[in-house]
Amino acid sequence: MKTIRIAALVVLGAAVVALAGVGRPDSAGGASKPDGGITVHGTGTVKAVPDEAEFSLAVQTSGGTAREALAANAERMRRVLHAVRVAGVAKDDIKTQEVSVSQSYDGNGHINGFDARNSVSVKIHPIAKAGAMLDAAANAGANDVYGPTLSRSDREQLQGNALRAAVENARAKAKALADAAGVQLGDVTAISEDSSGNPEPYYFDATVRAARSDTPIAPGKEDIQASVTVTFALG
């Protein structure tokens, strides 16, 4: 019985020694490479002078009945559209946004008539025409003006340039991280575009139209931005 027990212990000890070597790195093979790669966020910006502006022009009128309010509104809007066309805006750059009529009330909450509203969006290019167009529209009867939203006619191309700059920015960041970690940067394994902002409008007050002529519009410069998230493999 003692002989059998000693033999079993010898076999068990050999198995433990064999299992202890499983999963150990080969000391002669060097350090193993980290997994997962490097993920970074990159941004790119292209500066450009806007070359087009978009405005919303509206006419608001009142009448004793809905028909009277709409008739007065239609007549005034026809004058506004004619003035805008004479100022150099192409027909394809004018689009109706809203036509509405609603009841109006006095201070006691009683119905005292109807209000009609008609608004159109107008795209102007080049921007140099914007001042003359605004004055013409206001003088013709536009009494609610919103805008402009300034932008570039070739925005898609400039957005592509900003995206390329964002990817290069991400690559530079990843390269710096790889160098600091002592590893080689590999190929891109994943890339995604992050959301970007839109041009911000500012306002033109149509009530000041009589105080000035050829309303000045300063285009300034627009920052067209792009951002991406990129994952690089490790070489």
Overall domain count for the chain? 1
Q: What is the pLDDT of residue 208?
A: 36
> Would you say residue 114 lies in a domain?
yes
Range of the domain at 94: 52-151+201-215
Q: What is the pLDDT of residue 216?
A: 67
Task: List pLDDT tens digits, range 91-145.
Answer: 999 999 999 999 999 888 888 999 999 999 999 988 888 989 999 999 999 999 9
Q: Per residue of the chain (235 residues), what is the pLDDT tens digit? A: 444 444 443 443 443 333 344 434 443 333 345 567 999 999 999 999 888 999 999 999 999 999 999 999 999 999 999 999 999 999 999 999 999 999 999 888 888 999 999 999 999 988 888 989 999 999 999 999 998 888 888 989 999 999 999 999 999 999 999 999 999 999 999 999 987 545 444 444 443 333 344 666 667 777 889 999 999 999 8
Burial 66-77 (b: 16+ CB within 10 A, else e): eeebbebbeebb
Q: What is the pLDDT of residue 8?
A: 42
> Would you say residue 210 lies in a domain?
yes
Residues with Cβ < 8 Å from 90, sequence gap 6 or more?
none
Q: Are the C-beta atoms of 186 and 235 separated by less than 8 Å?
A: yes
> Would you say residue 139 lies in a domain?
yes
> Would you say residue 19 lies in a domain?
no
> Would you say residue 123 lies in a domain?
yes
Q: What is the pLDDT of residue 215?
A: 64
Task: List pLDDT tens digits, range 132-159.
Answer: 999 999 999 999 999 888 888 898 999 9
> Would you say residue 221 lies in a domain?
no
DSSP letter string over 26-77? -GGG-PPPPSS-EEEEEEEEEEE---EEEEEEEEEEEESSHHHHHHHHHHHH
> Would you say residue 189 lies in a domain?
no
Q: Residue 118: give its domain's CATH number.
A: 3.30.70.2970
> Would you say residue 23 lies in a domain?
no
pTM of the model: 0.60
